[in-house]
Amino acid sequence: MKPGSRPDDSFADTVGEIVAALDQDPVLVEEVMGNGHTEEIRQVLSEKAAASPIPVHVVLTAPPREITSTEANEELLSVLHGRVGVDGVWLVATTGGYGLEVRTYTDLVPDDEYDETRLSSAVNAALEDVQEATDRACDHCSASTPALEAAVTMDVLAAGIPEDWDVHPLTEEQIDGYATSTWWDSTSSHAEYVEPTDMPTSGTYAMVATVAAVCVTVVAYRLAQAVGGRRHGRLRGKPRPSLPTRAELSAQVISARADAAAAYRTLEKALGRTRARSDDATAWERRDIATACLERAESRVGADDLLEVVGALVLARTGSYALHHAHGQYRCCYVDPRHGEARQEAQLGGGLQVPVCRACATAIAKDRPLEPLLSEGRFGSLHPYYERSSVWSRTGFGSLGGDWWREVPR
């Protein structure tokens, strides 16, 4: 315990104690999640919560005794929301989970089904900007802490949910304000790693389990394509009738380049600052994936074609995910990878499940228009990318699983 922090006996280590604490203050930050700057973080988050236009609850702690599921963040969030009984936005992270669980129990923007997805897309863009600023200040520091993500989420809520996918919501002053050690991961360190003596070659480790699991999905997908008599399954939801103008499309390419470049640099830095133990086969396997993704993203970041640029963005995120997780892979929204991580599945026309963001899942369920990523045909016609033949439609930008990056040419 550091001087100035609360003594052990006030640590809320049961659900009841957390609920009691939230009744007094909607922000609870325990030292285990405080980056070594617990008091400062608690104060900043409390001020943001107090000023928030939407009620916000923030809980950053160790999982209380009653929470036993492997998805500690999700479980704790549901339990706390139920017990406290206040809607709004809930942000929960524990040492037993990964990242920050964000859930909204309110309409962020009335009549906008994509509001939650736009929030997460804007937060992603902001975090990539902060990582870039962090990289300028420290070559081995990671700006990916739940405390930072909670602060940035509240900044986006305060500024208003952006209407477009490609908005960078923070001011330069805000970005620079987060590029300090208060918001960095103080536990990441080179000390626990050893420099490798022998580099295993790429592909030494077969990802048998992953491949077996995803083969089923991909085979099923291709079968249904064959049975359906067309190459690409259509989603039940219809594209929205108003297509973007040429100028809007160019603006999308420019904005996607910035996002892809930031995600690329984040991955490049992460690869540079982490080391795998020479005897840790899993870590090497994950590094192989990250390196393969980085190599394939490089030539695409500045491309003219929107699909190629979005491909670079997803490759970079896939690589970062591989480095930061011991298993599993990054799955983006099948409808438009710029919507961010897929949290649900939705059914295609042929009875197939594809991963989608929450907003797209709702749109498909209610047969409402989707906002798919569009690709431009030879004569300027625009179609959802998954209705055209390309490596991106075949792989769904990785949302269909498998070692999809191998199919992407270098």
Q: Given the rule CB under 5 A, which residues bind Zn ion?
A: 333, 335, 339, 357, 360
How many beta carbons lie within 10 A of that of residue 40, not counting itself? Answer: 17
Q: How many CA atoms lie within 13 A of 156 on its CB side?
A: 27
Which residue from 28, 30, 39, 43 is spatially nearest to 3, judged by alpha carbons?
39
* Closer residue to Zn ion in complex, CB, 146/384: 384
* Closer residue to Zn ion in complex, CB, 49/360: 360
CB of 239 to Zn ion, least distance (A): 13
* Closer residue to Zn ion in complex, CB, 297/363: 363
Beta-strand pair 88-94/344-347: unpaired
Question: How many residues does this entry show for the chain?
Answer: 410
CB of 50 to Zn ion, least distance (A): 32
CB of 372 to Zn ion, least distance (A): 8
400, amino acid identity? L
The answer to whether 13 and 64 have CB atoms below 8 angstroms apart is: yes
CB of 194 to Zn ion, least distance (A): 41
- Range 186-194, long-range pairs (CB < 8 A, 24+ positions): 186/35, 186/36, 188/140, 188/141, 188/142, 188/273, 190/140, 190/273, 190/275, 193/274, 193/275, 193/276, 193/277, 194/275, 194/277, 194/278
CB of 334 to Zn ion, least distance (A): 7
Tell me the residue ranges of DSSP E strands in 329-391.
Answer: 344-347, 353-356, 374-376, 382-384
CB of 397 to Zn ion, least distance (A): 12
Which residue from 16, 9, 49, 48 is spatially nearest to 30, judged by alpha carbons?
9
Question: d(Cα 84, Cα 104) in Å, to the nearest integer?
Answer: 14
CB of 336 to Zn ion, least distance (A): 5
Q: What is the DSSP letter of 338?
A: G
* Closer residue to Zn ion in complex, CB, 44/373: 373
* Closer residue to Zn ion in complex, CB, 58/370: 370
Query: Residue 201, class by beta-carbon neighbours within 10 Å (0-12 exposed, 13-18 middle, 19+ buried)?
Result: exposed
* Closer residue to Zn ion in complex, CB, 150/346: 346
CB of 107 to Zn ion, least distance (A): 18
- Range 403-409, long-range pairs (CB < 8 A, 24+ positions): 403/207, 403/210, 403/211, 403/289, 405/289, 405/292, 405/293, 405/296, 405/315, 405/318, 406/292, 408/296, 408/311, 408/315, 409/296
CB of 125 to Zn ion, least distance (A): 15
CB of 228 to Zn ion, least distance (A): 22
* Closer residue to Zn ion in complex, CB, 97/384: 384
CB of 213 to Zn ion, least distance (A): 23
Beta-strand pair 56-61/27-29: parallel
* Closer residue to Zn ion in complex, CB, 331/339: 339
Query: Residue 136, class by beta-carbon neighbours within 10 Å (0-12 exposed, 13-18 middle, 19+ buried)?
Result: exposed
* Closer residue to Zn ion in complex, CB, 237/401: 237
Report helix angle 246-273 to 306-324, nearest 10.
30
* Closer residue to Zn ion in complex, CB, 142/362: 362
* Closer residue to Zn ion in complex, CB, 283/335: 335
